[in-house]
Amino acid sequence: MYTQALDIHGKEPVPAAAGEAEAPAARFQARIDEDAKIEPKDWMPEAYRQTLIRQISQHAHSEIVGMLPEGNWITRAPSLKRKAVLIAKVQDEGGHGMYLYSAAETLGISRAEMLEQLLSGTAKYSSIFNYPTLTWADIGAIGWLVDGAAIMNQIPICRCSYGPYARAMVRICKEESFHQRQGFEIMLTLTQGTHAQRAMAQDALNRWWWPSLMMFGPSDADSRHTAQSMRQKFIDITVPQAHFLGLTIPDNELHWDESTQHYRAGPIDWSEFHAVLKGNGPCNRERLEARRRAHEAGRWVREAAAAHAARQRGGAAPASQAGEPT
Amino acid sequence: MSETDWPLFEVFIRSRAGLEHKHVGSLHAADARMAIEHARDVYTRRQEGVSLWVVRSADIVASDPGEADALFEPARDKVYRHPTFYAIPDEVKNL
């Protein structure tokens, strides 16, 4: 569910492999030009393949790491209903990660390689998940703002040229809309509650507003126009929703511009974004540590499953076998 | 961390009785039974189906996209296989 313009810093151009034939390249370009989909076994330029692997795997990692801030509140959800909803939402994020890893694998990278890149810290994921979820209201703010921004970022990817990625995104976008609505409903309930609950909702908005705007990526990026116009659209949609809730957007410069019919927001502090991206956000280390712990804690389960599968096939399981060479 | 991946399975779902199973995606599992359980969790969280098939991806034989022209071209000039090929006067009914 969560993307941002992660690729803006990965500017290393991928060199075209030597000997890429002229004819397939022309056919590939023709299919792109006519909006036809590219499928796994079709010829594709090496740069296209590598860019997709990076983008899809980063997206998958974001879904997986994205389970952590929300998972933090499953045991403390304020009611059985909220707990069931939150579990369903976190399960969805896990599922979205699985769809995306599968899509990336069709390009020739293995699941194990991607996992290794995540756990070793070499792969990026959306930096929004390096912020902590301090109160229950953060679960509302994440659904409302973070999922809201993510949906806006993701809808265009449903039309991307690579078939498996586009199909995964169609499924993901269909499942996302409940995430945003349940988040807004949490905020609505809190703002209709006690003074302390309203203050909690306002505090969550104060902390998630700017990081949510940063999810569209810096304005100085190559994709400046898209990033800026999507961010503007998000602001125009979200400000009235905040007003409905009786909450204040934490931006003193925010005002309605009658001439353009848009809300004008104050400047974004991109130094914070870059710091978090570099690994210095509030929870970067904690998130990776949690993933590594989960991976290690699950090792015996994976080994047992592999041993069982080997026995079912009639062979003895090698003691160290954790998976099956294919 | 030198684990290798579990085998890959392709997942097919029958969305309701009377319809065919349709490919929805793939997943890794140690064996077929685990593949069914994972397919349930990954692809049917919203009652997407009433039946699941899982097939080891390695067992699927696929046509080569590079040979698609040669493979499918013979059907291209046989438009007479379609009912619209035949011109029937408008006055003739029920045909």
Compare CB distances from B42 to A39, A95, A116 and report the shortest one's residue: A95
- Complex ipTM: 0.86
Q: Are A61 and A124 in contact (CB under 8 A)?
A: yes
Distance of CA B44 to the CA centre of its chain: 17
Q: Which fold has domain B3-81?
A: Ubiquitin-like (UB roll) (3.10.20)
Return the residue in B22, B23, B31, B67 with the most chain A beta carbons within 10 A, the one to mutate for interface testing.
Answer: B31
Q: In this structure, what DSSP letter does residue A159 have?
A: G
Interface contact B26-A105, CB threshold 8 A: yes
Query: What is the pLDDT confidence band of residue A248, given thresholds at 50, 70 and 90?
Result: very high
Interface contact B41-A95, CB threshold 8 A: yes
As a whole number of angstroms, the distance between CA B6 and CA A323 comes to 5
The residue of chain B nearest to residue A94, with distances taken between CA atoms, is B42
- State which H helix or E strand residue A255 sits in: strand A255-257
* Alpha-carbon gap: A209 to the closest alpha carbon of chain B (Å): 31
* Alpha-carbon gap: A40 to the closest alpha carbon of chain B (Å): 10
As a whole number of angstroms, the distance between CA A164 and CA A149 comes to 23
Compare CB distances from A111 to B25, B28, B46 and report the shortest one's residue: B28
Percent of chain A, pLDDT > 70?
A: 88
Structure tokens at A320: 């160290």
Mean of per-residue pLDDT scores for chain A: 90
Compare CB distances from A302 to B3, B7, B45 and report the shortest one's residue: B3
User: What is the rounded average pLDDT of the residues A166-178?
Assistant: 94
As a whole number of angstroms, the distance between CA A189 and CA A182 comes to 11
Query: What is the pLDDT confidence band of residue A323, given thresholds at 50, 70 and 90?
Result: very low
B52: Cα within 13 Å, side-chain hemisphere: 24
As a whole number of angstroms, the distance between CA A198 and CA A191 comes to 5
Q: Are A220 and A8 in contact (CB under 8 A)?
A: no
A309 contacts on B by Cβ (under 8 Å): 30-31, 34
Q: Are B38 and B3 in contact (CB under 8 A)?
A: no
Please write the tens of the pLDDT for every residue from A191-225: 999 999 999 999 999 999 999 999 999 876 556 66
Q: Could you write out the DSSP letters of every residue in chain B?
A: --PPPPPEEEEEEE-STTS-EEEEEEEE-SSHHHHHHHHHHHH-TT---SEEEEEEGGG-----GGGHHHHHGGGTT-GGGSGGGS---TT----
User: What is the rounded average pLDDT of the residues A166-187?
Assistant: 95
Interface contact A326-B5, CB threshold 8 A: yes
List all residues 6 or more positions away from A271 whose beta carbon is below 8 Å from its beta carbon. none
List all residues 6 or more positions away from A116 whose beta carbon is below 8 Å from its beta carbon. B1
List all residues 6 or more positions away from A249 whose beta carbon is below 8 Å from its beta carbon. A205, A209, A239, A242
A39 contacts on B by Cβ (under 8 Å): 65
User: What is the rounded average pLDDT of the residues A157-181?
Assistant: 95
A111 contacts on B by Cβ (under 8 Å): 5, 28
User: What is the rounded average pLDDT of the residues B62-74?
Assistant: 90
Q: Which range among A71-75, A242-246, A310-314, B84-88 shows the weakest confidence by mean pLDDT?
A: A310-314
As a whole number of angstroms, the distance between CA A296 and CA A284 comes to 19
* Alpha-carbon gap: A275 to the closest alpha carbon of chain B (Å): 29
Nearest in space to A89 (alpha carbons), one of A180, A191, A225: A180
As a whole number of angstroms, the distance between CA A177 and CA A91 comes to 15
pLDDT for the residue A325: 41
Q: Are A91 and A74 in contact (CB under 8 A)?
A: no
Compare CB distances from B4 to A39, A112, A175 and report the shortest one's residue: A112
As a whole number of angstroms, the distance between CA A32 and CA A164 comes to 15
User: What is the rounded average pLDDT of the residues A183-192?
Assistant: 98
Nearest in space to A242 (alpha carbons), one of A190, A196, A178, A195: A190
Interface contact B45-A92, CB threshold 8 A: yes
A325 contacts on B by Cβ (under 8 Å): 4
Return the residue in A31, A38, A98 with the most chain B beta carbons within 10 A, the one to mutate for interface testing.
Answer: A98
The residue of chain A nearest to residue B30, with distances taken between CA atoms, is A306
Residue A6 has pLDDT above 50, yes or no: no
B46 contacts on A by Cβ (under 8 Å): 175
Nearest in space to A215 (alpha carbons), one of A184, A192, A238, A186: A238
Task: Give Dmax (Cα) for chain A.
Answer: 75
Percent of chain B, pLDDT > 70?
A: 98
C-beta neighbour count of B25 within 10 angstroms: 20
The residue of chain B nearest to residue A117, with distances taken between CA atoms, is B1
* Alpha-carbon gap: A149 to the closest alpha carbon of chain B (Å): 24
Q: In this structure, what DSSP letter does residue A74 have?
A: G
User: What is the rounded average pLDDT of the residues A14-24?
Assistant: 60
